[in-house]
Structure 1
Amino acid sequence: MKLTSLSLAVATLTVSLMSAGSTLAADATPAASRTVITQADQLPRRTVTLPKLPSELLAVPLAELQAIAAPVEKNLLADLQRYDIQDPATQREYYAALAAMAQLRGDWAAVPQWTAKGRALQEKAGGKLTSGLLTDLLSQQRAEGRDAAWLQAEVQRRYGALPWADVQAVVKANKGGIETFNPELIKGAFQSQVDAVAKNGQMTIPEGLVTAIVNSRMQLELLAANKQAVVAGLQAVIDAQAQAVAKPDIWTPRTFAIPATAPAQPVVVGIWDSGVDLALFKTAAAKGMAFDDDAKPSPHLLRPLGEAQGRWPELRAVIKGAMDQRAALDTPESRAFRAKMAGLKADQVKAFSEDASLAGLYVHGTHVAGIAVDGNPFAQVYAATMLWSHLNEPFKPNEDRSKATAAAYTAMVQGFKKAGVKVVNMSWRYGPSAYESAMAYHNMGGSPEARKQEAQRLFKIERDALHQAIAGAPEIFFVAGSGNEDNSADFEEYIPAGFSLPNLITVGAVDKAGTETSFSTFGKTVAVHANGFEVEAPVPGGVRMKLSGTSMASPQVANLAAKLLALKPGLTPVQLKTAILDGAERQAGADGKPGRVNLINPRKSAALVGIAL
């Protein structure tokens, strides 16, 4: 179960790490005697029965919430003693959860010691420098009784002292998230989503939601009164860098376009996504195939907006405003977006959230398609549309639905074969946790452990069908986006990102300077990286927008594969994958040694297969 993305973004900024006593207890057991955890499903599941609705707990006396949180904190510490968790992102989640408990107790003095421990688990340059910094400052302010003016000055001083090239994306994203912070947004998200979990479960909820309650309560306690001070401090840092030398663009020189007069052959590119406005592209003879959210065939290759059609200009402006805000761009759209978020009331959050989700799904597939065929006049688009739901309430998992989804996957790949598709982009992913969360929402599946097992069983039906379908199409090259959760694709068992197949490659995201983005998911199966930050492409109707995500990085690799095939039609998927991997260049990590970013070089890959540019 998740809150709105904006609520989660702010929660990440304001959470602290564990107290000194808690950490010593967590580290007391030698690693050799702990049970090794290599996948998320191996972790225990527990529930908590609440005395009040989650939204009501956002306003109760702190002592009342402390009583609910205390046993949860004890369980988290016991887990860290019992388990050797092999995933740094999951370890950070544990530390953040324990930190929220420490904040709830007012253990401000211990926070700086343990934000350093959290930073040690960061693997990205920006995270290593900024993780926990705002938490340190907010905690110091509370411990010392400082005012907002002090906080503003300290934010400016501490962030301003960091190397701008490494932290600029994080600073801008943090400013954008905090600037749109609105207590009514948090309240509305709880009322429309988290309260539903409690009501459906007769007030018994997954234990992890207690941490969400504590996190959000601490946002309201620490950030609400300091929002303007923090924003002003971060803005001053950004303004001071207005004349700074921009990060070098090493991405654009690597790319190439195929002239329309080149001796090339048409290549059909499948966009397995949320729908494509085919009027914007050259298309294959067979236009595509679509399935609705229940995995039933649909005639709609582009998602219908329904009653929201008349609001499309407004919704498009919301998306652009959100993107501009995150990039710290002062545009009319970003100003309107800030005003919209700041003015939302709790009873408006559900409708706004669903509208934003609908708009996001509406633009996503078309934007991805635009990236996949850019600079390739020989590319033809085939729409492989999945009309996923935009509603806050999740589906009810069951065996019939999973079998229908499995059949849809098989049918989709058969459609690719019949249409002569040679490259397929898949900018989507999910794991068994999606089913577990949906079952928890609807109070399905029995005990937490039984629910976990049932979610795994249903997920396996779909995973195996998708794996078999892709493996059974060795003549097609599949490209998957890794994810945007800054976690491990294999630990979370994401599909298709977690697959290891000779005709599939998984892609992470960097910016144009080749720096791994703060959001990009990583892992053993993430083989290469491409630009996925502020990538411009069309949305339905033809207006061009800049969006970010591994969804934008993956079609960069599909774009390269399609260009190689247009110029060298005889290349097999295995040969394509080899050329892409051999052409990629390992980038240096924060320590100067070869890191995990393996940046593709389209020009070099083309040369490796004998294409002269």
Structure 2
Amino acid sequence: MRRTLRLLLVLGLAGCGGASSTPTTVAEPAPTTATAEPGPEAAPASPWASITDEELIDRVRAGAVARIREADPQLAIDGFQAWRRDPASAPPLGDRVCEQMLYLAAADFAAGDLEGAAQTVRLVRAKARNRNMAYVGTTLLSVIARRSAGEDPAAQRTAVEAVLNELPRARFGASTVVFQLYQERTQIDASLEQTRQQLLTLETAASYLFTSHVLADAVANRPVYLEAITNVRTAHDARPADRDYRFSTVDLARARDAQPVLVGVWDTGTAGDLFPQQLFTNPNEQPNGQDDDGNGLVDDVHGVVSDPDAAQTGLTYDPGAEVITQYAPFLRGVMDLRAGMASTEAAQRVLTLMRGATDAASLEVLESNLDAVGEWAHGTHVAGILVQGLPQARVAVFRSAWAGETRVYRHRGPTDAELAAERANVEAIADFINTHHVRVVNASLGFAQDYLEAELGHESSVYTSDEQVRRRAAEIHARRRANWQWIFEHCPETLFVIAAGNSNRDVVEYGDVPASIQSPNVLVVGAVDRFGNWATFTNSSPDRVRLFDFGVEVDSLIPNGEHVPLSGTSMASPNAANLAAKMISVDPALTPARTIEIMLGTGDAIAAPFGGVIANEERALQRVRRERPRAGRVASAR
């Protein structure tokens, strides 16, 4: 859930691009000149204080080219200019290369090269291996179209409509949210101020250029864009509705052949009181501050709780009644925006809230509170999905403050002592899993090295260069990868179902953990929308993300007992874990590897240009029942 608002704030950069008075040229980055370390009394001036747009543009161009060479050393990047003119001549492009090309487009746009910026975006759209990238760049292309159309507002609107009409209807909403998101110049200024408080890196420089040039244009000329969006949406609405995909579900409430199955929710917390009949209770442990069952864990009554805040000992994180009351009503709106539904009442409430963030300080408060209420709600929502139609499930709660990018590490990285605590938490969860024979664990969480770099970039008093940040991030990421590899190896009889992530990228290319780790007991799940297409945000990988499930506007509970539809691979993963648990409930002899094999073998193929299969509960359970040992067959009341 963490980064939800921030991802929205940089949606244009992640899904667009930006441009230059001279075309982008491919050149090696200029060498940097070493400077003397400041004396003990010296306070180094922020590099943002005096840097110009021209210098930012040069930094982004040099840095992006260097990163492209790093990401794909075999790519003949010297052919970039020819590829822009004729995308068909370009080779397929990986996600990391595409990301840097979009940075180049941002630099070109900022320098005034509208044609070059547009060519770069269209190159990415045409040649990205990840076919979700076929829809990136809508914000930038729309701004370029408006600027290129002259001064007549009608001509500008027509030009923008032409760009928007390139989008399939199912992709239209998500691709136009940014025009709803930024409504006032004060929002642009607040975002820029927040960026200037971070270390000056390739990423922050590109973000600054995109915000100050592309998004500023979107705000200054917002009526043109909104009218174009309205016209295209009206045309879409006049057409017959797209056919919804029929998701297959099975309810085992009356199945006489289903046996109890212990599942785990590894997340930021689960409100166990909402699942009183299904919450697992360790019969040999009492909540008395002691290790009653002698397994090395204190008070592991319902699972394992780990939090550096001594006051946070519950099964859910508690941000306080005031935060919950004030910000819980915005959960649905944030996720509606994420799913591309800016016109809903809930989304409009969030947009109104965001207009009030007129400086970096107020933006920080807003983001922190939305992050907090997300951490409070996330695991309960996941658990609600996991137990649907499965009364046989018993739920163990693994609440970890270290789960993904939670409040613990906001705007900073972990210390070595905290990394040791992360490892201790992993080992405690492994002990619990093996002691109590937890069969399925859902982990809708993940760690990415580039996200970590962004957080470390806020520690300008600790790190003075991009190189230092990247080196430390790599060290931390390696330790986390080792943690996950260790628990997969030490819990071989447990199936770990992992959310792929929500950054529209290849998990293997970026090395995201745990989603990129190969293990026979790991299933990584991506998200599809109501039409059975890849969700606009879903991570993917032809090798690691082969199974997809419903992950857009998925209804479930939050800790106050309300039902709220949320979106993300965090919701798709427990849908798949739910099926896996049902299969094991019907045939406890299933191994993790066989469970995965059946789920992949019985899924519905996703239509081109996407790949993978959508989980099919009916066919998977039919195969399990057909193939289980005859001695274990019992008449079913399905």
TM-score of the alignment, normalized to the shorter chain, above 0.5: yes
CA–CA separation in structure 2 for the residues paired with 1:446 and 1:531: 43
CA–CA separation in structure 1 for the residues paired with 2:350 and 2:34: 37
Which residue of 1 is the match for residue 500 of structure 2? Answer: 482
In 1, are the aligned partners of 2:142 and 2:160 still within 8 Å (CA)? yes
Which residue of 1 is the match for residue 64 of structure 2? Answer: 76
CA–CA separation in structure 2 for the residues paired with 1:481 and 1:235: 34
Which residue of 1 is the match for residue 99 of structure 2? Answer: 93
| Partner secondary structure for residue 565 of structure 2 | strand
Which residue of 1 is the match for residue 602 of structure 2? Answer: 583
Which residue of 2 is the match for residue 246 of structure 1? Answer: 241
* Equivalent of 2:580 in 561, 584, 604: 561
Q: Identify if the C-alpha distance between structure 1 residues 508 and 279 changes in structure 2 by more than 3 Å, giving closer, same or farther.
A: same
* Equivalent of 1:153 in 151, 158, 179: 158
Q: Does 1:512 align with 2:526?
A: no
Equivalent residue runs for 1:141-540 within 5 Å: 141-160=146-165, 162=167, 167-181=168-182, 182-192=184-194, 194-198=195-199, 205-252=200-247, 254-260=248-254, 262-281=256-275, 282-286=278-282, 287-292=302-307, 299-306=313-320, 309-325=321-337, 326-328=339-341, 330-346=343-359, 347-388=361-402, 389-390=406-407, 393-443=410-460, 444=462, 448-523=466-541, 524-540=543-559
* Equivalent of 1:11 in 10, 13, 16: 13
| Partner secondary structure for residue 578 of structure 2 | helix
Residue identity in the other structure for 1:276 = T
**Pairwise CA distance, 1:395:** 3.5
In 2, are the aligned partners of 1:109 and 1:140 still within 8 Å (CA)? no
Residue identity in the other structure for 1:385 = R
In 2, are the aligned partners of 1:16 and 1:111 still within 8 Å (CA)? yes
Q: Does 1:596 align with 2:611?
A: yes
| Partner secondary structure for residue 556 of structure 2 | strand
Which residue of 2 is the match for residue 36 of structure 1? Answer: none
**Pairwise CA distance, 1:284:** 0.9
**Pairwise CA distance, 1:44:** 13
**Pairwise CA distance, 1:342:** 2.7
**Pairwise CA distance, 1:371:** 1.0
**Aligned sequence identity (%):** 23
* Equivalent of 1:544 in 553, 558, 563: 563
CA–CA separation in structure 2 for the residues paired with 1:310 and 1:450: 39
Q: Identify if the C-alpha distance between structure 1 residues 94 and 44 changes in structure 2 by more than 3 Å, giving closer, same or farther.
A: farther
Which residue of 2 is the match for residue 138 of structure 1? Answer: 143
Relative to total residues, which structure has the larger strand share, 1 or 2?
A: 1
Which residue of 1 is the match for residue 40 of structure 2? Answer: none
CA–CA separation in structure 2 for the residues paired with 1:353 and 1:299: 24
**Pairwise CA distance, 1:564:** 0.9
Q: Does 1:607 align with 2:622?
A: yes
Deviations 1:172-215 (CA, angstroms, capped at 9, x unpaired): 123333212143334334434x33334xxxxxx32332112111
TM superposition score normalised by structure 1: 0.84
**Pairwise CA distance, 1:133:** 4.3
CA–CA separation in structure 2 for the residues paired with 1:274 and 1:46: 42
In 2, are the aligned partners of 1:14 and 1:134 still within 8 Å (CA)? yes
**Pairwise CA distance, 1:53:** 6.2
Residue identity in the other structure for 2:606 = Q
CA–CA separation in structure 2 for the residues paired with 1:196 and 1:476: 44
CA–CA separation in structure 2 for the residues paired with 1:48 and 1:10: 35
CA–CA separation in structure 2 for the residues paired with 1:271 and 1:238: 40
Which residue of 1 is the match for residue 292 of structure 2? Answer: none
CA–CA separation in structure 2 for the residues paired with 1:47 and 1:183: 37
Equivalent residue runs for 1:12-31 within 5 Å: 12=14, 15-16=17-18, 21-22=23-24, 25=26
Deviations 1:196-253 (CA, angstroms, capped at 9, x unpaired): 334xxxxxx323321121111113442121223212221222233235333333342x
Deviations 1:553-605 (CA, angstroms, capped at 9, x unpaired): 11111000111112222222222122112212332322xxxx42222222121
CA–CA separation in structure 1 for the residues paired with 2:280 and 2:410: 36
**Pairwise CA distance, 1:500:** 0.9
CA–CA separation in structure 2 for the residues paired with 1:503 and 1:366: 24
Q: Identify if the C-alpha distance between structure 1 residues 146 and 140 changes in structure 2 by more than 3 Å, giving closer, same or farther.
A: farther
In 1, are the aligned partners of 2:598 and 2:620 still within 8 Å (CA)? yes
Residue identity in the other structure for 1:285 = T
Deviations 1:367-409 (CA, angstroms, capped at 9, x unpaired): 1111111111111211111125437843443322212211111
TM superposition score normalised by structure 2: 0.81
**Pairwise CA distance, 1:434:** 4.2
Which residues of structure 1 form unaligned runs of 5+?
30-42, 199-204
CA–CA separation in structure 2 for the residues paired with 1:494 and 1:224: 34
| Partner secondary structure for residue 493 of structure 2 | coil
Deviations 1:5-40 (CA, angstroms, capped at 9, x unpaired): 2220133466336899426x47xx9xxxxxxxxxxx
Which residue of 1 is the match for residue 55 of structure 2? Answer: 67
CA–CA separation in structure 2 for the residues paired with 1:515 and 1:114: 26
**Pairwise CA distance, 1:141:** 2.8
CA RMSD of aligned residues (A): 3.2
CA–CA separation in structure 1 for the residues paired with 2:187 and 2:457: 23
Q: Identify if the C-alpha distance between structure 1 residues 14 and 368 changes in structure 2 by more than 3 Å, giving closer, same or farther.
A: same
Residue identity in the other structure for 1:291 = S
Deviations 1:424-469 (CA, angstroms, capped at 9, x unpaired): 0001111333444444332446764454344333332332122112
CA–CA separation in structure 2 for the residues paired with 1:299 and 1:45: 51
**Pairwise CA distance, 1:416:** 2.1
Q: How many residues align?
A: 571
